Structure 1
Amino acid sequence: MSLLDRIRARFDRNKVTLQLDEIQALILRARPEPYVGIHAMLHITDAAGGRALLGELAPHIPSAANWTDDLDAWVGVAISHAGLQALGLPQTMLDTFPIAFRDGMAARAAALRDTGENAPEGWEDAFTDRKCHIALTIYAADDAALAIAKDKAFAALDAAHGVVLVGTHEFGADEHAENPFGFRDSISQPTVRGAGVAPQPGQEDAIAPGEFILGEDSETGAPVAMPEPAILAKNGSYVVLRKYDSRVGAFNDFLKSKTTDPDEQHRLAAKMFGRWRSGAPLSLTPDHDDPALGADPARNNDFDFAGDERGLICPHAAHTRRMNPRGSELSIMTDQNIHRVIRRSSTFGPRWTPDVTSADDTPDARGLFFIFISARAYDTIEFLQQEWINRGNFIDLGTERDPIVGLHPEPGRFTIPADPARKRIDGVTTFNQLRGGEYLFMPSLPALQWIAAAGWQA
């Protein structure tokens, strides 16, 4: 059964309370497996030309209402603050957006802990000087479908006046949907209340839609602050886009430096991620991988960490446990539901193999676009970067950083609880180097048409 078929089986249209026909499909629709696609970064030099391009693209952007249809490809569009400026939105409207969005990602480097090798000074050109005005994403089921969708989108771009293509990157993964390090990716996604999809076994209750969709009630019982006017903001959301080069060879070399046994290398990698490469969680199969479990969506999220308080099964410092504590007792308390995000990450480069070495870690060889969607996106990413990724205080590990996505200015360590004494694995380096990114706003479909028509002039 395909991923889409599995989601269809949990969908009940009678339980839909959201205005799905106004929400871009990319927000609530899972990508296909396997998938291919392209990210394109556009820069606007003429407001009217940029608005005309949005008007041409809008009919090709599916809504979340038809996500159960068989779509071979679909488009998503998000706009930066600099992009909204370039499109001609009045300053009074621009000033109603969150401060972090107005600043842009590069200007928030200190809050994001994007220093050293992750600093904006080393980013790719498309993400410097507020160049990225529109991020256009196409997901497709196969190369043929992608080619058709690309031809339509780029024909509109070629015909547009005052819009410049400043960067593109194709991506894709096979039916295993692996990240660059060979681990099944994007397994755990929150269920959005009112979208009509029932939670999977082991998931928390569906999360309030206002955590993801502007204008809906959040976990606090009220909507989060929304830009004005309502036509611009309602049923939109915010997007964090961060492009990483993955140092797969350095990761392989690190594992080999700790043990010459391939099985033990695999086990250490699983401890660092919190799951085996198949996606099977350590909490359900501590001693060995179980590919059948990893591939079963009815079981691979049916766990929490309540019975593993000491982290003897899944270390507290493991990447997946940091990013989704699942009921763990944290030293620094936080509402975990408020920090849940919808992930739409995309992988690029060859599939992982154990023979890749650090000599193969050339720029743009392998990596991922870390993309997530949330009505609190900027507060969330800055919290995650400051606390859960680049510190360890919340799990009583001091300065210990995330072993997979943390920035390590100097070689760090990874702690594995054990009896009689915990193990400390030294030599962890930066395995994912940031190459650029931006804070984006994903408008509703009516809002895109309103922007295209310069509705504020009416």
Structure 2
Amino acid sequence: MGYLDQLRSRFRREHVSLDLDQIQALILRARPEPYVGLHAMLRVDEAAGGRDVIARIAQHVPSAQDWAQDRDAWVGVAISHAGLRALAVPEESLATFPLPFQQGMAARAEQLRDVGENAPETWEEVFGDDGCHVAVTIYAVGQPELRAAREQALATLDDAVGVTLLGVHEFGVDEEAANPFGYRDSIAQPTVAGSGVVPVPGQERAIAAGEFVLGEDSETGAPVAMPSPDILGRNGSFVVVRKYQSRVGAWNDFLRDSGSTVDEQDLLGAKMVGRWRSGAPLVLAPEADDPALGADPERNDDFGYADDAHGLACPYSAHSRRMNPRDGELTILTDVNLHRIIRRSSTFGPAWRRDLTAADDAAEDRGIFFIFISARAYDTIEFLQQEWINRGNFIDLGDERDPVVGVHEAPGNFTIPDEPVRRRVSGVSTFNRLRGGEYMFMPSLPALEWIGRAGWLEQHAPSTSTA
């Protein structure tokens, strides 16, 4: 059974309570494996022309309603706050969005700990000066399907007026679905209550829909604050986009310097990630990789950390354990369900190779677009960056940072619990360098149509009635 077939087999129409026909498919529908795709970045130079482009692209954006239907490619659209303003959305509506979204990612560098080589002044030009107004993402099962979807969705730009295509970045991975470092990616995804999808083994329960879809009740029992008017905010969500350049050669060099054999190097890498390259979790495969386990969606996420309280199988500071502590005990108590995210990350560049060195990093462009969706996206990313990624107090490790995505202005450490005494590996550097990013809003399909036709003007249009 293929990956998309497995997803469709978990869908139960009788369990649906959300307005699937109004929600962009990309919010609730996982990408295929393998996958190819592209991110197109647009700037709106003239409001009417920009709205026309939004209206035409929106015709090619599928809804989550077709989860169980055959579809080989789909399109998603997200808009920044600067983009909404450039589209002439009224200021009274713009003011109802969360403050971080209004300010934009670059202005939130302090809260995000984007300093040093990750600071906004080092970012790629496309992410500077509020330039990225609209992001169009296409995922497809193969290159022919991607070409067809691209021709449909982006053909509108051929005769567009008032919109500039800033750039197109293609991405894709093979059936192993590996990230730039060669590890299977995006395994642990939350199940959204009311979406009709049955949780896989290892997922205790579905997460309240309002954690991901605006207008629905969240884990607190009430909806998260929603932009107004209702047609603009309801059934939309917020998106964090962060583009990283991955220093895969430097990662390989670090493992080689820290382990005398390939097995030792692979074990250290797994300890830092929390999973083996196949995706097999350390808690279930502590001694050696288990590719069959890693490839099995019924088993590869069916675990917790309660039975690994001392971190002997998976270290507390491992990337995957930091980003999803599950049932593990934390020094600083946190409701992990309030920080769950839907990940839509996309890997680009040549596949990982063991022979790569730091000297190769400048010659070959590899990386990942870290993309996630959440109704609390901005609070969540800033919390993650401040507490779980760039600090270690919540796991009694002081200032020890995430070994994979943490910012290490000076060489850092990685602690591996062991008996009779823990082991500390030094020399951890910034293996993923931030090249830019933005806070985005993913409107519902009715909201895209409302933006495209300037629906706010209709409220003030003079009546033509002759009654």
Distance in 2 between the 1:411 and 1:172 partners? 31
Distance in 1 between the 2:115 and 2:447 partners? 36
| The 10-residue stretch of structure 1 (415-424 or 159-168) with the greater mean CA deviation from structure 2 | 159-168
TM-score of the superposed pair, with normalisation by structure 1:
0.99
Distance in 1 between the 2:27 and 2:386 partners? 25
Amino acid aligned to 1:19: D
Q: How many Å apart are 1:77 and its aligned residue?
A: 0.2
Distance in 1 between the 2:430 and 2:230 partners? 42
Q: Do the aligned residues in 1 keep the contact of 2:73 with 2:141 (CA within 8 Å)?
A: yes
5+ residue gaps in structure 1? none
Amino acid aligned to 1:204: E
Q: Do the aligned residues in 1 keep the contact of 2:11 with 2:67 (CA within 8 Å)?
A: no
Q: Does 1:348 align with 2:348?
A: yes
Q: Do the aligned residues in 2 keep the contact of 1:4 with 1:68 (CA within 8 Å)?
A: no
Give the aligned partner of residue 367 of structure 1.
Answer: 367
1:35-434 matches, cutoff 5 A: 35-362=35-362, 365-434=365-434
Q: How many Å apart are 1:10 and its aligned residue?
A: 1.3
Q: Secondary structure at the match of 2:308?
A: coil
Amino acid aligned to 2:345: S
Superposed CA offset, 1:162-217 (max 9, x none):
00011221000001100000000000000000000111001120000000000000
Q: How many Å apart are 1:364 and its aligned residue?
A: 6.6
Distance in 2 between the 1:437 and 1:68 partners? 32
Report % sequence identity. 67
Q: Do the aligned residues in 1 keep the contact of 2:218 with 2:224 (CA within 8 Å)?
A: yes
Q: Do the aligned residues in 2 keep the contact of 1:278 with 1:294 (CA within 8 Å)?
A: yes
Distance in 2 between the 1:10 and 1:157 partners? 37
Q: How many Å apart are 1:229 and its aligned residue?
A: 0.4
Q: Do the aligned residues in 2 keep the contact of 1:245 with 1:364 (CA within 8 Å)?
A: no
Amino acid aligned to 1:298: E
Q: Does 1:449 align with 2:449?
A: yes
Amino acid aligned to 2:302: D
Amino acid aligned to 2:385: Q
Amino acid aligned to 2:5: D
Distance in 1 between the 2:322 and 2:363 partners? 27
Q: How many Å apart are 1:72 and its aligned residue?
A: 1.5
Distance in 2 between the 1:382 and 1:244 partners? 17
Amino acid aligned to 2:76: G
Give the aligned partner of residue 26 of structure 1.
Answer: 26
Counterparts in 2 of 1:73 and 1:222: CA distance versus 1, 3 Å: same
TM-score of the superposed pair, with normalisation by structure 2:
0.97
Q: How many Å apart are 1:157 and its aligned residue?
A: 1.1
Q: How many Å apart are 1:148 and its aligned residue?
A: 1.2
Q: Does 1:9 align with 2:9?
A: yes
Q: Do the aligned residues in 2 keep the contact of 1:245 with 1:363 (CA within 8 Å)?
A: no
| The 10-residue stretch of structure 1 (326-335 or 439-448) with the greater mean CA deviation from structure 2 | 326-335
Q: Secondary structure at the match of 1:60?
A: coil
Amino acid aligned to 2:266: H
Q: Secondary structure at the match of 2:56?
A: helix
Q: Do the aligned residues in 2 keep the contact of 1:45 with 1:164 (CA within 8 Å)?
A: yes
| The 10-residue stretch of structure 1 (149-158 or 309-318) with the greater mean CA deviation from structure 2 | 149-158
Q: Secondary structure at the match of 1:293?
A: helix
Q: Secondary structure at the match of 2:300?
A: coil
Counterparts in 2 of 1:321 and 1:175: CA distance versus 1, 3 Å: same
Q: Does 1:437 align with 2:432?
A: no
Q: RMSD across aligned C-alpha pairs, in angstroms?
A: 0.8
Q: Do the aligned residues in 1 keep the contact of 2:341 with 2:373 (CA within 8 Å)?
A: yes
Q: How many Å apart are 1:332 and its aligned residue?
A: 1.0
Q: Secondary structure at the match of 2:333?
A: coil
Distance in 2 between the 1:150 and 1:202 partners? 37
Q: Secondary structure at the match of 2:306?
A: coil
Q: How many Å apart are 1:363 and its aligned residue?
A: 7.2
Q: Do the aligned residues in 2 keep the contact of 1:21 with 1:63 (CA within 8 Å)?
A: yes
Give the aligned partner of residue 465 of structure 2.
Answer: none
Q: How many Å apart are 1:316 and its aligned residue?
A: 0.1
Q: Do the aligned residues in 1 keep the contact of 2:57 with 2:154 (CA within 8 Å)?
A: no
Distance in 2 between the 1:340 and 1:313 partners? 23
5+ residue gaps in structure 2? 459-467
Amino acid aligned to 1:141: V
Amino acid aligned to 1:379: D
Q: Do the aligned residues in 1 keep the contact of 2:191 with 2:207 (CA within 8 Å)?
A: yes
Distance in 1 between the 2:362 and 2:212 partners? 36
Q: Do the aligned residues in 1 keep the contact of 2:8 with 2:67 (CA within 8 Å)?
A: no
